[in-house]
Amino acid sequence: MHIDTIAMITSPDLAWQEEALCAQTGADFFFPEPGSSVREAKRICGMCPIRSACLEYALDNDERFGVWGGLSEKERLELRRTSR
48 is in an annotated binding site: yes
- Cα–Cα distance for residue pair 33/36, rounded to 1 Å: 6
17 is in an annotated binding site: no
- Cα–Cα distance for residue pair 76/48, rounded to 1 Å: 18
54 is in an annotated binding site: yes
Strand partners, 68: 71
State the amino acid at position 11 in one-letter form: S
Q: Which residues define the annotated binding site for [4Fe-4S] cluster?
A: 22, 45, 48, 54
Q: Annotated binding residues, as ranges? A: 22, 45, 48, 54
